[in-house]
Amino acid sequence: MQRRLKLALVVLTLALSGSAFGAANRSEIAVGTVTVPMRVELSRPYIDVTLTGPNGRHVTAHAYVDTGGGALLLSAGLAQRLGLRATGKTEHEEGQAFAPTVAPTLDIGGKRVATTNARAYIVTDAPGTLVHTDAELMLPGKILQRYVVVFDYPARTFTLADPHKFNPDGTAVQATFGGGMPVVRVAIAGNAYDFLLDTGGQYCMVSQTEPDAWSQQHPHWESVAGAYGPANMLLGPSETKLRMLRITSMQWGPFRIESAGAVSRPAGTYEKWMSNMLGTPIVGSIAGNVLDHFKVTVDYPAGKVYLAGPATARDAPIDMVGVTLEPAAQGGYEVAGALTGTQGIKAGDRLLKVDGQDIAQLPFWRIVELLGGTPGTTHTLTLQRGQQSLRVDATVRSILQAIPSPPISPMTSPSKPASRAKVRPRSA
């Protein structure tokens, strides 16, 4: 598997392969349904939760919710405030260190969330917040499997409900659950594909084998080398070899998403490794740039997914300075690559300031926000190149142009997803 793949894949590996360290016999507070504010930062949902550790201290933490996540992740600083300690050997994966610990008591909006046998890890090299976010906690879908969970992106609210006591809004869309995670079916160019429903993902992702085939079949689909904005996962120079593209139209049940953006992932990431991990074949993940248009209900106990929203939605443009960033060794961010035609910026340049604002301690979503704007406008970037400090006026560009959508053709095989990889599901 290619080095430094998505952190969520690492967390899933830890959750499925590690030992259980959850506290036993915790009871739930009798609150049937709670709704709390949800912030969406770079297409990823964040909520505030209350944790109680072994020291009895109640701590409010900012968390992002990841339906594609397998284990609870806590920053080292949060773990320290809760009195949590490592309970086993630290595991090193993808350049980060994960120490197993007991899962703290978790409350959302006054509702106790069952964490019996939940796996939890301290990210020991994240002293304040989880890397390049402003969250101290990653809340995985694995912990929410006893509940009905509603991500209302338009209303910016998050709802957690007990099963059989909540009537979901919207239309049920075809879904299965692999490894306890929701897998949904969408139609692209008349073919059916299965994707992980991934709220922790900022941008839809798909195995490289599919974009390669789509580009040959649909040469008018806009594409560009690299990963920019929400598609940039801070994975380093390898992201400059990826490809972003606009899918003319994606049909998700009765809902149509026009000009849907996606970024490639190395062949094998989804159709082999993730598919085997989940026990069901997938080719990619549906992420925040598409989910942002809908109210998404995941009924874990019933194994159903519901959507409510416009019959036709259109993915947002990506208008920003065309740079792919990665973490800098000295802290902050540096340039891994630049969009063709970008002047004055080179790979290896360390980004120090945008329009005079120091960005070293900012979460990545704020960097993308600062680099964005109306195409044709400029931002002044302060860069460090070796021992030299430079100021470059960089132009905001439209990374991927929107494309018109032809009428949707029916799926060629509604009962069987199109895939060029033969995947053998993992035995139970």
Distances (CA, A) of 422 to 192, 194, 282, 373, 396: 15, 13, 11, 43, 42
Q: Are 16 and 277 within 8 A, CB to CB? A: yes
pLDDT in tens, 293-328: 999 999 999 999 999 999 999 999 999 999 999 999
AA letter at 179: G
- Please indicate, yes or no, whether residues 186 and 285 belong to a single structural domain of this protein: yes
- Please indicate, yes or no, whether residues 101 and 210 belong to a single structural domain of this protein: no
186: helix, coil or strand? strand
Q: Which domain holds residue 203?
A: 171-314
The CATH number for 60's domain is: 2.40.70.10
- Please indicate, yes or no, whether residues 58 and 187 belong to a single structural domain of this protein: no
> 409: closest CA among 249, 257, 173, 210?
249
Report the distance separating Cα 28 and Cα 201, nearest Å: 29
Q: Are 198 and 9 within 8 A, CB to CB? A: no
**pLDDT band, very low/low/confident/very high, at 150 (cuts 50, 70, 90):** very high
Does residue 271 fall inside a structural domain? yes
pLDDT in tens, 377-416: 999 999 999 999 999 999 999 998 755 545 544 444 333 4
* Count of residues in the chain: 428
Tell me: pLDDT of 17 over 90: no
**pLDDT band, very low/low/confident/very high, at 77 (cuts 50, 70, 90):** very high
- Please indicate, yes or no, whether residues 15 and 97 belong to a single structural domain of this protein: yes
Task: Kindly state the helix (H) or strand (E) to which residue 8 belongs, with its residue range.
Answer: helix 7-17
pLDDT in tens, 244-255: 999 999 999 999
- Please indicate, yes or no, whether residues 136 and 12 belong to a single structural domain of this protein: yes
Q: What is the pLDDT of residue 403?
A: 57
pTM of the model: 0.87
Tell me: pLDDT of 81 over 60: yes
Q: What is the pLDDT of residue 165?
A: 81
Does residue 419 fall inside a structural domain? no
Tell me: pLDDT of 153 over 50: yes
Report the distance separating Cα 391 and Cα 316, nearest Å: 30
Does residue 420 fall inside a structural domain? no
The most confident of 92-96, 274-278, 374-378, by mean pLDDT: 374-378
Report the distance separating Cα 320 and Cα 181, nearest Å: 33
> 33: closest CA among 126, 108, 136?
108
Share of the chain above pLDDT 90, in %: 74
Does residue 266 fall inside a structural domain? yes
More confidently predicted of 304 and 213: 304
233: left (phi over 0), alpha (psi -120 to 50) or beta: alpha
pLDDT in tens, 23-51: 333 344 456 899 999 999 999 999 999 99
The CATH number for 356's domain is: 2.30.42.10
Q: Are 243 and 223 within 8 A, CB to CB? A: yes
- Please indicate, yes or no, whether residues 12 and 142 belong to a single structural domain of this protein: yes
List the single range of 200-204, 223-227, 371-375, 404-408 with lowest mean pLDDT: 404-408
Q: What is the pLDDT of residue 26?
A: 37
- Please indicate, yes or no, whether residues 132 and 189 belong to a single structural domain of this protein: no
Does residue 406 fall inside a structural domain? no
Q: What is the pLDDT of residue 212?
A: 86
Task: Kindly state the helix (H) or strand (E) to which residue 370 belongs, with its residue range.
Answer: helix 364-371
Tell me: pLDDT of 61 over 70: yes
What average pLDDT does range 349-361 have in this prediction?
96
By DSSP bridging, strand 171-173 and strand 304-308 are antiparallel
Burial string for 106-145 (b: 16+ CB within 10 Å, else e) reads bbbbebbbbbeebbbbbbbebeebbbbbbbbbbbbbbbbe
39: helix, coil or strand? strand
- Please indicate, yes or no, whether residues 382 and 339 belong to a single structural domain of this protein: yes
Q: What is the pLDDT of residue 9?
A: 52
- Please indicate, yes or no, whether residues 177 and 303 belong to a single structural domain of this protein: yes
Q: Are 321 and 371 within 8 A, CB to CB? A: yes
pLDDT in tens, 323-339: 999 999 888 999 999 99
Task: Kindly state the helix (H) or strand (E) to which residue 155 belongs, with its residue range.
Answer: none
Q: Is 300 exposed, middle or buried (0-12, 13-18, 19+ CB in 10 A)?
A: buried
Q: What is the dihedral of CA 214, 153, 410, 183, to 10 degrees?
A: 70
What is the number of structural domains in the chain?
A: 3
Q: What is the pLDDT of residue 99?
A: 96
Single residue among 264, 281, 314 that ends a domain in this structure: 314
Q: What is the dihedral of CA 121, 126, 130, 131, to 10 degrees?
A: -130
Does residue 247 fall inside a structural domain? yes
- Please indicate, yes or no, whether residues 54 and 72 belong to a single structural domain of this protein: yes
Share of the chain above pLDDT 70, in %: 86
Tell me: pLDDT of 5 over 60: no
More confidently predicted of 67 and 5: 67
AA letter at 102: V
AA letter at 146: R
Report the distance separating Cα 401 and Cα 166, nearest Å: 41
Does residue 1 fall inside a structural domain? no
Q: Are 242 and 284 within 8 A, CB to CB? A: no
Single residue among 135, 161, 187 that ends a domain in this structure: 161
Does residue 56 fall inside a structural domain? yes
Report the distance separating Cα 355 and Cα 338, nearest Å: 19
Provide the token pair at 124. Answer: 């020991």
Residue 262's CB is within 10 A of a number of other CB atoms, namely 30
Q: What is the pLDDT of residue 402?
A: 59
- Please indicate, yes or no, whether residues 346 and 310 belong to a single structural domain of this protein: no
Q: Is 291 exposed, middle or buried (0-12, 13-18, 19+ CB in 10 A)?
A: buried
